[in-house]
Structure 1
Amino acid sequence: MTNDSAGRIVDALRSWIASAAPGARLPSNRALMAAHGASPVTVQKAMRQLDALGLVESRPGVGTFVRTTRPSRSADFGWQAAAMVAPRPRTSGLSSTQRVSVPDAIQLHSGYPAKDLLPERLVRSALVRASRTEAAVTRSPTAGSPELQSWFASQIAAAAPVDVSPPAGRDALIIAGSQSGLSSIFRALVGTGQPLLIESPTYWGAVLAAEQCGVILVPVPSGADGPDPAEVDRAFATSGARAFYAQPTFANPTGAQWSRDTSEAVLDIVRRRRAFLIEDDWAHDLGIDSRPEPLVAHDHDGHVIYLRSLTKSVSPALRVAAVIARGPARDRILADRAAESMYVSGVLQAAALDVVTHPGWARHLRGMRQQLRSRRDHLLDALRLHAPDLRVEQVPRGGLNLWVRLPDGTDAHQFVRDCETRGLAVAPGTEWFPAEPSGPFIRLNFSAENPERFPDAGRILGEVTRATG
């Protein structure tokens, strides 16, 4: 039987339902099959269509009935305003990068790479294999799978100079995504009401996590080569902060990578101030024209708290990351994670380890970097051709994003809304500033789906720029 057969059954039953009383029982599937000469599959398809239309409701083991119309009643949530005694956070609601856009829109607002850039076959195979192991039915250690801990630690050891003792496997704590790690680090090492130095602009999720923990943010301007070390030292001195959150490699949103001089100078300041550097290495696997050089590889005494996620390079479905910390700081972070989520799914950990130790992983990363370079340059060409008034002040050497400055005086939020009405989703730059923005910006994800639509995106950006100018 075809879909047309199911459609005829749906049409006949809609006429019957129109005259039936709410709660009336529909003819049985067997009766419908006999009346319409239909197969069981066709009758079931018709029932699903009626259910999707909201006309019927099925009761397993009893039958299918005309849906009862429930009285319309508006809910009153006004009481909640008095019950929520915690102050309303400055950063409320979802980020623009998390919102769902119009289905046919060109989507350059997301914070994740397109599906075709990910190792889909490796991930699917790894999940199948992991489901067949003991990890599928046993509890994982709170600190994580020892094998996965050792893998994360070995990545740092490979980059460490001979005169630095690298972290051991036990120093790596496996967590469910880097966002949860940020919250634990801020709670365990900074604390409510205490200051934290933070680059500006920086990852909006770090701003949100700090705010939710009650941490006071102290912005430090950061440019193409990172922050000015003198400004970092001054901020430590004036604020009394004992920690600095930063993304030295392919920063989100700018794509900047700290110079070696900046890295060495900031590490020296952190050591002298007896403070922590919270190094968020979110784009470790996303180098294009440069390779990551984690600062934690040069840290001997536990000043660097290192955070690395596999979400962007393996799969958003595998929320697996690691915090590397040593000394009492490690124990505090572990205690916070245990209180927050107990442990990370062993199946996800086993699958993640399977992917990153597979012989095809290195080959995948090489291909991904080539694709990122191609998409980055393709989007840059589209902007130069169709939207020359928009400025990309620094071509990112890695990561997923272009940080685009709008003409002075542009309302970034209105600019984003105007793009959306034309079928283009982009993210306003205001979300990446822990204080007042230094100018009007938008962020574009060059790793998005359908790069063949980048020229159309450039044309829309040019049209909106000219309309607002």
Structure 2
Amino acid sequence: MNDGSSAARVAGELRAWIRERPAGAKLPSTRILAGEYQVGPVTVQSALQLLVADGLVETRPGVGTFIAATRQARPVDVSWQTTALGWSDVFDVEGSGVRTHAPDVIGLHTGYPSPSLLPGALLRSAVQKVSRDPEILMSAAPASGLPQLRAWFARDLDGQRTGGSGIDESDVIVTSGGQSALSASLRALAAPGEAIIVESPTYWGAMAAAKAHGLRMIPIARTKDGIDPADLDAALAAHGSRVFYAQPTYANPTGDVWSPHVRAEVMQVLAARKAFLVEDDWARDLYYDAEPLPPIAAADENGHVVYIRSLTKSLSPAIRVAGLVARGPALRRIRSSRWVSELFVPPFTQQVAVDVLAHPGWNRHRAALRRELRTRRDELRAQLTRAVPEVEVTQVPRGGLSLWVRLPRGHHAAEVAERALTLGLAISPGSEWFPTEPYDQFIRMSFAATPHTRYVEAANILAEVLR
């Protein structure tokens, strides 16, 4: 058993001990607890730190550790806020993908990979190295990001370009993950009350950012090739919009990939309408069949594409970094817009990312990640086919982290998700992913956070819910 799980076990035992004793009671010494629970003193100290964090005990240097007094919560009347705040059009529904459930729940709702899929050894080595640099620990970062990390994002995109002027670090802003880049882009490129064009269904976080900025979302339907460029042209013209948000590669939640001819025709529409595409390339590292097509930004010569390249899913949710690439006045506006919510990304976070990306093990990690994601995709599909043949996986994704599943007629996604959770399975109802009227016959099942050994149980639960 590792130290972390041992500390959690000891903390659990002590919680039971604390419940039976009054506030102010003194806990046994570290030496006595170590002997009683057959662990080392360091593990005992780690357990006590967990209890301090929970507010259950307090330490008094030189005296000991004592049960903390229970604070009586006073009733709080916040009803006045309803009148003070008034009407709101803010997207205030928490997406199922960011909710936290009990550890024993099978989590097919979240879009974050489990720690076992991430480069733990590379991260630990980088953190130890960077933590020894006092300048990194004590300094602010340049507003647009560390030059080394900006240069990495520039090279990553420039290496996929087929012509035109190159990308360099002056075209890049480092942000705290893709969501931050997306929010800053929408604030900069569209004014409150204006319309933006989005795919339907689309990423939940993009809808939240648009709503928070007071933007109207105009949906265009997905097709087998991605979208119909004629629909985009018509929507831009009809609504006077100049911004189109899309995920052309492994779209969340459907897994769709735009075909080459759609990519080319979309660029023509953008040029003709003098419009911007905010290209969210969130899953560039998460392919597991053929390597993905180059980003649309790689073919952009005149600054129509604002490109967002996130590393959160392949590196670590704890090291949230993304690169935003833009050119011209749009870049300057985005840079100014971003300062509203974040002045800079901590240099410690950025330098850890730089060290991991420069390590020879990074590419080996990405290859291993892709193999494991493919195994999980295939196993979840197989178990759904076995236990719930009446559901339909609309397409076999070639990248990303989830399956988009159509329910049989007569079943509603929100009700299915609610019932599944009572039986220990968390899934994401498809209604959350539609910008206008929800189509309540889909669920998203992510295979990123839960090992494939639990997919049999997950499929069986879904089968029971649909009976």
After TM superposition, the score normalised by the length of structure 2 is: 0.88
Match of 1:110 in 2: 110
Q: Does 1:142 align with 2:143?
A: yes
| Count of aligned pairs | 449
Q: Which runs of 5+ in 2 are unaligned?
A: 1-6
Given that 1:115 and 1:449 are in contact with CA atoms closer than 8 Å, whether structure 2 keeps it comes out as no
Q: Does 1:333 align with 2:312?
A: no
List structure 1 runs of 4+ shifted beyond 4 angstroms: 5-15, 25-30, 51-72
Between stretches 6-15 and 407-416, larger displacement belongs to: 6-15
Look up the SS of the partner of 2:110 in the other structure.
coil
How far 1:288 sits from its partner (Å)?
1.4
Between stretches 375-384 and 67-76, larger displacement belongs to: 67-76
What CA RMSD, in Å, does the superposition of the two structures yield over aligned residues? 3.3
Distance 1:321 1:69, change over 3 A: closer
Q: Does 1:449 align with 2:450?
A: yes
How far 1:13 sits from its partner (Å)?
9.7
Between stretches 168-177 and 77-86, larger displacement belongs to: 77-86
Q: Does 1:215 align with 2:228?
A: no
Q: What letter corresponds to residue 289 of structure 2 in structure 1?
A: D
Deviations 1:139-162 (A, max 9, x none): 11101111111110111111111x
Instruction: Measure the CA separation in 1 of the matches of 2:347 and 2:190.
Output: 30
Instruction: Measure the CA separation in 2 of the matches of 1:447 and 1:10.
Output: 32
Given that 1:405 and 1:439 are in contact with CA atoms closer than 8 Å, whether structure 2 keeps it comes out as no
Show the 5 A alignment for 1:351-366: 351-366=352-367
Between stretches 70-79 and 110-119, larger displacement belongs to: 70-79
Q: What letter corresponds to residue 184 of structure 1 in structure 2?
A: A
Deviations 1:237-256 (A, max 9, x none): 11110010000000000111
Q: What letter corresponds to residue 430 of structure 2 in structure 1?
A: G
Show the 5 A alignment for 1:30-41: none
Show the 5 A alignment for 1:20-39: none
Q: Does 1:345 align with 2:346?
A: yes
Match of 2:4 in 1: none
Match of 2:3 in 1: none
How far 1:336 sits from its partner (Å)?
1.6
Match of 1:248 in 2: 248
Instruction: Measure the CA separation in 2 of the matches of 1:28 and 1:416.
Output: 46
Match of 1:157 in 2: 158
Show the 5 A alignment for 1:403-414: 403-414=404-415
Distance 1:451 1:14, change over 3 A: closer
Distance 1:311 1:65, change over 3 A: closer
Deviations 1:113-140 (A, max 9, x none): 1211111111111111122233222211
Given that 2:430 and 2:439 are in contact with CA atoms closer than 8 Å, whether structure 1 keeps it comes out as no
How far 1:262 sits from its partner (Å)?
0.5
Between stretches 114-123 and 195-204, larger displacement belongs to: 114-123
Distance 1:350 1:86, change over 3 A: farther
Structure with greater Cα Rg: 1
Q: Does 1:267 align with 2:267?
A: yes
Given that 2:27 and 2:66 are in contact with CA atoms closer than 8 Å, whether structure 1 keeps it comes out as no
Match of 2:192 in 1: 192
Show the 5 A alignment for 1:251-330: 251-292=251-292, 293-330=294-331
Distance 1:63 1:459, change over 3 A: closer
Q: Which runs of 5+ in 1 are unaligned?
A: none
Distance 1:28 1:326, change over 3 A: closer
Deviations 1:32-51 (A, max 9, x none): 99xx9xxx969x88x959x7
After TM superposition, the score normalised by the length of structure 1 is: 0.87
Deviations 1:346-385 (A, max 9, x none): 1111111111121111111111111111110111111111
Distance 1:301 1:88, change over 3 A: closer
Distance 1:74 1:7, change over 3 A: closer
Distance 1:67 1:366, change over 3 A: closer
Match of 1:82 in 2: 83
Q: Does 1:179 align with 2:150?
A: no
Show the 5 A alignment for 1:379-394: 379-394=380-395
Q: What letter corresponds to residue 367 of structure 2 in structure 1?
A: R
Distance 1:393 1:41, change over 3 A: closer
Distance 1:86 1:182, change over 3 A: farther
Given that 2:97 and 2:428 are in contact with CA atoms closer than 8 Å, whether structure 1 keeps it comes out as yes
Deviations 1:312-347 (A, max 9, x none): 000000011111000010011111222321111111
Instruction: Measure the CA separation in 1 of the matches of 2:368 and 2:57.
Output: 50
Given that 2:431 and 2:439 are in contact with CA atoms closer than 8 Å, whether structure 1 keeps it comes out as no
How far 1:29 sits from its partner (Å)?
6.7
Instruction: Measure the CA separation in 2 of the matches of 1:8 and 1:287.
Output: 44
Given that 2:174 and 2:321 are in contact with CA atoms closer than 8 Å, whether structure 1 keeps it comes out as yes
Look up the SS of the partner of 1:210 in the other structure.
helix
Look up the SS of the partner of 2:290 in the other structure.
coil
Identical-residue share of aligned pairs (%): 44
Between stretches 440-449 and 241-250, larger displacement belongs to: 440-449
Q: What letter corresponds to residue 80 of structure 1 in structure 2?
A: Q
Look up the SS of the partner of 2:76 in the other structure.
coil
Instruction: Measure the CA separation in 2 of the matches of 1:74 and 1:178.
Output: 39
Look up the SS of the partner of 2:253 in the other structure.
coil
Deviations 1:186-221 (A, max 9, x none): 111112111100000010000000000111111111
Deviations 1:392-419 (A, max 9, x none): 1111110001000111231111101111
Distance 1:26 1:403, change over 3 A: closer
Between stretches 5-14 and 440-449, larger displacement belongs to: 5-14
Given that 2:18 and 2:67 are in contact with CA atoms closer than 8 Å, whether structure 1 keeps it comes out as no
Look up the SS of the partner of 1:340 in the other structure.
coil
Instruction: Measure the CA separation in 1 of the matches of 2:400 and 2:15.
Output: 51
Instruction: Measure the CA separation in 1 of the matches of 2:107 and 2:27.
Output: 46
Distance 1:458 1:79, change over 3 A: same
Match of 2:435 in 1: 434
Look up the SS of the partner of 1:339 in the other structure.
coil
How far 1:177 sits from its partner (Å)?
0.9
Look up the SS of the partner of 1:197 in the other structure.
strand
Distance 1:144 1:68, change over 3 A: closer
Distance 1:12 1:397, change over 3 A: closer
Instruction: Measure the CA separation in 2 of the matches of 1:317 and 1:8.
Output: 29
Look up the SS of the partner of 2:307 in the other structure.
strand
Q: What letter corresponds to residue 239 of structure 1 in structure 2?
A: H
Distance 1:63 1:105, change over 3 A: closer
Distance 1:411 1:41, change over 3 A: same
Given that 1:402 and 1:443 are in contact with CA atoms closer than 8 Å, whether structure 2 keeps it comes out as yes
Instruction: Measure the CA separation in 2 of the matches of 1:241 and 1:8.
Output: 60
Q: What letter corresponds to residue 210 of structure 1 in structure 2?
A: A
Q: Does 1:425 align with 2:436?
A: no
Given that 2:402 and 2:448 are in contact with CA atoms closer than 8 Å, whether structure 1 keeps it comes out as yes
Match of 2:374 in 1: 373
Given that 1:109 and 1:425 are in contact with CA atoms closer than 8 Å, whether structure 2 keeps it comes out as yes
Match of 1:169 in 2: 169
